[in-house]
């Protein structure tokens, strides 16, 4: 799914999914399987991921929560909240005001800028 503009809700994905090019206020929830979510702009909520996930290129105010499995979260800009990770996680390239809480397992957090 690509090229969304405006207020979007994407939920209940199963299988291998690519979601990219969102603009505006977005909610993405209920993912299961192998996912790539990229190119968000605006106010975004991404929650309920399970499996192998890549979330990158967020801009604006973002909430990412409820990840399970092997996850990569990179390239956030603005005010971000990342919570509830379980498994092997990499979080990199945050800029702005960031909160990362509730990590369990093997985690790498690198490349932060701003108030942490």
Per-residue pLDDT reduced to its tens digit, 72-87: 999 999 999 999 999 9
Query: Which H or E run contains 48?
Result: none
pLDDT in tens, 50-68: 999 999 999 999 999 999 9
CA atoms lying within 13 Å on the CB side of residue 1: 16
pTM for the full predicted model: 0.87
The pLDDT of residue 12 is above 90: no
């Amino acid at each position: 799914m690509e090229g969304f503009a405006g207020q979007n809700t994407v939920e209940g994905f199963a299988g291998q999914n690519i979601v990219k090019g969102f603009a505006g206020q977005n909610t993405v929830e209920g993912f299961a399987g192998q996912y790539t979510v990229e190119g968000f702009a605006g106010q975004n909520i991404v929650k309920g991921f399970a499996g192998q996930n890549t979330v990158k290129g967020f801009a604006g105010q973002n909430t990412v929560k409820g990840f399970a499995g092997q996850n990569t979260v990179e390239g956030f800009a603005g005010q971000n909240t990342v919570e509830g990770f379980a498994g092997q996680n990499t979080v990199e390239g945050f800029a702005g005001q960031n909160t990362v809480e509730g990590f369990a397992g093997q985690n790498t957090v690198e490349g932060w800028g701003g108030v942490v």
